[in-house]
Amino acid sequence: MTKGAHSVAGVAIRKGREQAVTRALPEEVPVALVYNGSTQAVMMATPDDLHDFAVGFSLSEGIITDLAQIERFEIVQHGQGLEAQMWLSDDRADALAARRRFMAGPVGCGLCGIDSLDQALRDVPVVSSNLTLAADDIPAAMAALRAAQPLHDQTRAVHAAGFYIAGQGIVVAREDVGRHNALDKVIGALARAGISGADGAIALTSRVSVEMVQKCAVAGAPVVIAVSAPTALAVRTAQTAGITIAALARDEAFEIFTHSARIKTGATPHVA
């Protein structure tokens, strides 16, 4: 069992009979993202792959633009949680300090380190990639991601994100109680491995929200594949960012919501 899960005793009621059971449940702990001694955000997360999480969060939230801008990294254990402590290069530390000075009050819109609606709906980079996928790649990506979820197999209570490259399958997969955290872990793992987001697709076990699209755009991923539907705002954002969303991907079926030319379906259009 990974450190991300813990065995808990319980009582199961089945067909009117009571039975003692032991079930693995995912851990959920506060993880503080600390830069040069100051906390930027505290996230409830699964305490696995925290180096990937810290790097991915830092990239996807615009705190850094390159992995090399984190000069030192350390995980510090506290009684109630963990700190991911990072020391930034001088230019990024100055930029983050300036960002903090402009925050007029407490966070008001429910997003980490954001103090205005304009920041919540921030502009995202336009993804540039020549990637195309075959229709078969969509169910293949989801099947490969499903096979790369050991914590889900133990607990049935976590999300996963993965990076799919045609011909190679899922090359990176990460799990977490939070879907955003799982995605940040993948983004961080890609950066640490030197893998370009332009070379493949992000696969998700969750719905596609606007924040997920924003993070994928920063990572440079041209395709997002998800088991559930996107939000309308996520679709509009993906359209602007040049990202293909293939969602509701279950078994052999899926729906393409944006930039469908990247998926070579070979299917015949149905005429009513």
* pLDDT value of position 51: 98
* pLDDT value of position 109: 42
pTM exceeds cut of 0.95: no
Distance of CA 76 to the CA centre of its chain: 23
Show Cβ contacts of residue 252 under 8 Å, excluding neighbours closer than 6 positions: 139
* pLDDT value of position 99: 83
Q: Report whether 214 contacts 124 (CB < 8 A).
A: yes
Distance CA 95, CA 160 (A): 32
Kindly name the residue from 8, 21, 76, 109 that is annotated as catalytic. 109
Asked if 29-120 and 133-264 have one fold, the answer is no
Q: For the chain, which ranges sit under pLDDT 70?
A: 1-2, 101-120, 268-272
34-75 residue pLDDT tens: 999 999 999 999 999 999 999 999 999 999 999 999 999 999
CB atoms within 10 A of CB 195: 15
Q: Is 109 known to be catalytic?
A: yes
Smallest CA-to-CA distance from 181 within 197, 205, 161, 200 is with 161
78-97 residue pLDDT tens: 988 999 999 999 999 999 99
CATH of 133-264, one of 3.40.50.300, 3.40.140.10, 1.10.760.10, 3.30.160.100: 3.40.140.10
* pLDDT value of position 104: 41
- Statement: 29-120 belongs to CATH 3.40.50.11140: no
Domain ranges within the chain, ordered by starting residue: 29-120, 133-264
* pLDDT value of position 209: 96
